[in-house]
Amino acid sequence: MVILTDIAAAKVREFMNGQSAGDGVGLRVGVRGGGCSGFQYALALDERHDDDHIFEASGISVLVDPASLRYVDGSTVDFTESFQGSGFEVSNPNVVASCGCGSSFRVADEEPSCGSVA
């Protein structure tokens, strides 16, 4: 399961309204290879695919493809604003290591890249 906070859901709804997103569109939460620790989050508005896992949060469909689910299951997506900037943050209980800038992560079953040691 992937959860959206109320603030994140409101921000996603704002983006969807700004883009006139139709039915079947939700927030896709996924991962892709990259960064020092191995994986990076990929968040985007997208249409549902037949094999997606779909979670509802505050009226927003959260779409997760089967390959990404093992990496993001149990995560919470939040939206934060500060003097340093604003954006979505993923709190993921599966992460065992992350890079210094916090943009990439590693889970227990994966080998570290870039010579990182957990």
Record the pTM.
0.78
At CB < 8 A and 24+ separation, what contacts does 108-117 make? 110/38, 110/39, 111/38, 112/37, 112/38, 113/36, 113/37, 113/38, 114/36, 114/37, 116/36, 116/37
In a domain, 97, yes or no: yes
For residue 30, tell me if it sits in a domain: yes
Instruction: Tell me the CA distances in angstroms from 95 to 22, 26, 45, 104, 111, one per residue in order.
Output: 33, 24, 24, 10, 13
The reply to whether 89 falls in a domain is yes
Number of domains the chain contains: 1
pLDDT tens per residue, range 41-77:
889 999 999 999 999 988 899 999 999 998 899 999 9
Query: Is 78 among the domain residues?
Result: yes
Parent domain of 80: 3-107
- Residue 97: CATH number of its domain: 2.60.300.12
**Is 118 within a domain?**
no
